[in-house]
Structure 1
Amino acid sequence: MMLPLAACSFGGNDGSGESAAENGTSNADADSNSTQHDWGDSGCDSSKSVRVIIVRGTGENADDGLLNPVAAGIAGAFPNAVQITSLDYPATFDLNSVNDGVTALVAMLGGGAQQCPTQKTVLLGFSQGAAVVGDALSAPKYRLNTAGTSDRIPSKAADNMLAAVLYGDPRFNGKADYNAGGFDATKNGMLSPRDLKALAAYAKTGRIVDYCAANDIVCQEGGVEDGHRSYFSDGTREQGIDFAVERIRAAGL
């Protein structure tokens, strides 16, 4: 069972998007010293045009989760051009797991933009991993744990991000215009729904899709566990592959 940190909220807003704060575009622009920031070794391979980063769900193994076939499908469309990486983070029920994942992903993206500046990225997130991806792409104030890392991805990393494909997001907001699947738009995820402004820059450019199945207990309050497992067989993995491949081809790669 790949459930996230059920019923554990670190505060945040109600996802209404009524805040007067800046949107994702301005928040993606890091501090003025971001180009000198020491992100550490990102592990990127400059010989590969695209890096697909898997952010697994709670309790999943790094090499055989929901997202591994999605990554393989994307790579298969671009032979010898894709690097596949599984983000190293706890993916446990520990309260700090999401924040650890956000910290690790922000560092990987920031480092990649410095060390492999021409390499594009595709992000895949399932369950807790979907929360990690969404929060990493958001300004710190929109994250689940607003007291966590204050680092944000630099604008180069944001520009290099071609596609984010999410499944069973515990921070699902039923009102977001980048949603897909059989969800009920009146229902949100089990954790604080993501502010509509948090990922606006990516939504406006068609770079993100958030799949939520009907009755998924994680992205639809009041759902059931079987709904959260449905992505293994409902065809949305294939849809996610098509979405990412289309975005990569649109970039001329």
Structure 2
Amino acid sequence: MIFFLLLCLLLLAQASAQGSGCPSGAHLVVARGSLEPQGPGIMGNISAKLLQRIPGSDMESLVYPARYEPYVPSQTAGVEAMTNLLLGYAKKCPKTKMIVLGFSQGAHITMDVMCGASSDGFPDTVPQSSFVAGNTIVLMGDPSLTVGQPFLVGSSHGSGIFPRHNPGGCQLIAEKTISICDSGDPFCEAGSHNLAVHMAYVKVWGEYAANHTITTFHSAQR
């Protein structure tokens, strides 16, 4: 009887720690690209696949300006917003795994939060290693992509327009991350000029990204 009561108390404590309203699946955080209206933007297509294929999941979109000009204030506001969002959610739902998706400026924001910012013209930040365990990151067209990073997917061979001077912080998330960049993208491959490449990632890579994310998520659940 005493053992049963102790077990009940333990289960109640665990439920309380997880918090009410926490999903049984994944919590998706989506950071849209420059000039996209508030919401998930074109990454909403991938988000929909994940919500359908990981039962019990939910999604929220990062609220930030998403301006192209001036870019730096918009991007740094996004870094602050995402840091606060992820910290708050991890405290509220410590057992829920997060999937963070970012396109273009949203990808840049995500990686500055995860790796720490170290690009010219942007305020330095420290890597947020507390977000790493069990979480998955999917990026497309990241302007801060730095050549040599192990999580690059795609045909690009160069760095983005805002490469990192200290990409070492990204090592913490390398196994949980894919960053898709194809040759010709003017943002994740500096010196290129084909905007159509930048805008085609969801069409070209969407199914791959969804499948990879689902596999990574389920492996983290084991």
Check if 1:189 corresponds to 2:163. Answer: no
Going from structure 1 to structure 2, the CA distance change for 1:147 and 1:190 (only over 3 Å counts) comes to closer
Alignment of 1:1-253 (within 5 A): 45-63=21-39, 65-79=41-55, 81-93=56-68, 94=70, 95-139=72-116, 142=118, 147=123, 153=128, 155=130, 157-160=131-134, 162-183=135-156, 185=157, 187-193=158-164, 195-203=166-174, 206-223=175-192, 224-234=194-204, 236-252=205-221
Unaligned runs of 5+ in 1: 1-43
Q: Which has the higher helix share?
A: 2
Does the 8 Å CA contact 2:31/2:40 hold for their aligned counterparts? no
Query: TM-score, normalized by length of structure 1?
Result: 0.72
Query: TM-score, normalized by length of structure 2?
Result: 0.82
* 1:151 CA drift (Å): 7.1
Going from structure 1 to structure 2, the CA distance change for 1:154 and 1:193 (only over 3 Å counts) comes to closer
Q: Secondary structure at the match of 1:131?
A: helix
Q: Distance in 2 between matches of 1:87 and 1:166?
A: 14
Unaligned runs of 5+ in 2: 1-19
Let me know the Cα RMSD of the aligned residues.
2.2
Give a deviation string over 1:12-35, Cα, whole Å, max 9, x none: xxxxxxxxxxxxxxxxxxxxxxxx
Does the 8 Å CA contact 1:168/1:219 hold for their aligned counterparts? yes
Q: Relative CO higher for 1 or 2, CA cutoff 8 Å, sep ≥ 6? A: 1
State percent identity of aligned pairs: 23
- Runs of 4+ in structure 1 displaced over 4 angstroms? 143-146
Larger radius of gyration: 2
